Every structure is written in structure tokens, then in C-alpha cells.
Amino acid sequence: MIALLALAVASGSVADAERAFAAQAAREGQWTAFRATASADAVMFVPGMVRAQDWLKSRADPPVPYKWWPDRTLTACDASAGFSTGGSIDAAGTHGRFRTIWTRTPDGWRWVLDEGAPLTMRPAGARPLAAETASCTAAAQARAALPHLTAPARYAQADAMLDGQAAAMFALPAIVSGASDDATLAWQVRGDAATGRRVLLVWAWTGTAHDLRAAQVTLP
């Protein structure tokens, strides 16, 4: 079983890596799993932004780890990076949503950004996995388009309108940003690094432009 989980992190899909991450947390301990799967320069929000490896190095595993599962993924055309989101339950039984940005390294998938927040209402039930891959059409043009990332009033493959809070925070400086090797997947966190008040934005290449696929506001 351990060998299969390691293989999933090394060579599987973004969803495979996320599931293996959650399984490792259940088996070995929450922060042990976070340390093992984070990249050297990964960041997380607790609630302010911190360098993950620095923050995690002295953390003892809680007796009961978070449980989480992916229900939506976005992957770059070249599979060098991916975004996953899904449900979570903490030790107290509180339901939440997580978001993770993954990059593929010679050692397998490693997360570079992890965040989440509790839900104000309990979800109706688990969602089936929805997996999407950025377009490979005219992918060579994607990098030149990165400076023109926008946040329209509505975005494709979304659950709701990009509300006023998210639109307002889009005007703030980016505190985290990145893109896949082929630039067909891009992400930014805009907001306040000290307080963790932020919006996470994720774009996927359509063949002609980057389309905003996710926008999540967190107000700690």
C-alpha cells in the first residue's frame, strides 16, 4: 500500500497526489505528511502567509488529523502543475474547503501552496470528481499572454459570480504567483500576507486566452 501511494505522488494525476497526501496524513500524521509533500519554497496560510517548511518543522502531529478529498482538479497541458480543491473535515467535525497548487518535480508532485477555510453551512454531500486539463491548442502563445491575466465578472466552470470582495482584492498586489512550465495554468494570491485576507485566482489556457476557472475569497 505504501509503495502504491508513493507511486501515485510520483507519477499519477493531481487527484492521485491529493488522495495520497490525505492517506499519508491519516497513516503517519497530519504535519508529517505536509512536510513530506511540500516543496522547499511552499507557502501556506495559518491564517497569515508563512513559509511552509519553516512553520512545519517544529509542529507535532495532532492526535486526529484533518480528513480531505479532492472533487475538482485543473491540470496544465504539459502536466507540470495542477490545482485541486475539495472537502475537508477537522477533528471537531467542522466541514471546510481546501485549495492546493501542485507542481511536478523529478521526485514527483509537490505542493507549493495550500489553503483552506471552514464552511458556514454543511455541504449537501460529496461531489464526484471533475477533472479538467488546460487546452494544448496554440500553447506556445500562452506565456506571452501571462501579463494579461484578468478577472471578469463571471468565469467558466464556476459555482458563483465573482463577487465584489474578490473583484476588489484583485486590485491588490499579488503576494503569490506562478505558472506551469508551459504557462497553460497560472495562479495568483492577492491580498494581505500578514492577515491572510486574500483571494486565490486560477486560470487555464483555452487556446486563445487564459480563462479564470477559480476565485476563492478567504477572510480570516
Tens digit of each residue's pLDDT (9 = 90 or more) over 151-210:
765 544 444 445 566 667 777 889 999 999 999 999 999 999 999 999 899 999 999 999
Q: Which pLDDT does position 23 carry in this prediction?
A: 98
Give the dihedral sign, CA 114/118/120/124: positive
The proportion of the chain whose per-residue pLDDT surpasses 90, expressed as a percent, equals 73
Distance CA 149, CA 155 (A): 13
Burial class (CB in 10 A: 0-12, 13-18, 19+), 122: exposed
Q: Which pLDDT does position 194 carry in this prediction?
A: 96
Q: Which pLDDT does position 179 carry in this prediction?
A: 98
Q: Which pLDDT does position 162 carry in this prediction?
A: 52
Q: Which pLDDT does position 159 carry in this prediction?
A: 42
Mean pLDDT of 110-122: 91
Does 139 have pLDDT greater than 70?
A: yes
Mean pLDDT of 136-149: 95
Does 38 have pLDDT greater than 70?
A: yes
The CATH class for the domain spanning 2-218 reads alpha beta
Nearest to 104 by CA among 9, 183, 21: 9
Q: Which pLDDT does position 172 carry in this prediction?
A: 84
